[in-house]
Amino acid sequence: MMGEALAAAGNREAAGKRFRSALALRPDLRGVHYVLGEMFLESGDYENAEREFRAEAQMVPGSAAAAYQLGFVLLNRGRVRDAIAELQRSNTLQPDMPETLLELGKAMATAGEVADAEKLFRRVLENEQTSRLAGTAHFQLAQIYRKLGRSADADREMALSQQLRGKRK
C-alpha cells in the first residue's frame, strides 16, 4: 500500500523501492510486477516495462491485462510477431476489449496482414462509435485504404477521424 501511495504522489523512485521490498518478502505477490511495468511504461522505459509485464504474465497466465500490456510494449519495441502473440492471447482471455483489438490491428497492419487489421479496426468501431479509440480506428483504416489505393475510403475514414478529434476538444 505504501508503494501505491508513493506512486500516486508521483514519487516513482521511492514507490519502486517499496514494490521491490514487497517482492523480496513475497515473490509470488500478484500485481506488483504489473504496477512496476506501468511505472516504467509511463517513463518511456520500454525495456524494463517489458521485463515487469512479462514477469506478471508468467505469474498470472490468465491475466488479459498483463498480456495486453506486454503486447503493447513489444509492438512499441518493434517486435511485431511477439506482440501479435501476446495481444491475441489477451483477446482470447478477455474477448473484444477495444484497446486490445486496436493494438492487435496495428500489429497486424505492421506485419502486412491488412485484411485482418481491417477486420479488427471494424470490430473496434462496432463497440466504440465516438471515443478516442474510434477516432484512432478510423485513422488506422484511412492509412490502410490509402496504401491499397482506395482514396475515397481513405478520405471518408480520415474525415471521420478528424470529426471525432474535433468533438473531444
Residue 18's pLDDT is 74
Statement: residue 3 has pLDDT above 80: no
Residue 168's pLDDT is 60
pLDDT tens profile 80-123? 999 999 999 999 999 999 999 999 999 999 999 999 999 999 99
Statement: residue 14 has pLDDT above 70: no
Statement: residue 13 has pLDDT above 90: no
Residue 6's pLDDT is 56
pLDDT tens profile 20-61? 777 777 778 788 889 889 989 988 999 999 999 999 999 999
- Give dist(CA 114, CA 118) in Å, integer: 6
Statement: residue 165 has pLDDT above 80: yes
- Give dist(CA 96, CA 136) in Å, integer: 16
DSSP category for residue 45: -
pLDDT class of 4 with cuts at 50, 70, 90: low
- Give dist(CA 129, CA 69) in Å, integer: 24
Structure pTM? 0.86
**Which H, E and C letters describe 108-164, residue by residue?**
HHHCCCHHHHHHHHHHHHHHCCCCHHHHHHHHHHHHHHHHCCCHHHHHHHHHHHHHH
pLDDT tens profile 133-163? 999 999 999 999 999 999 999 999 999 999 9
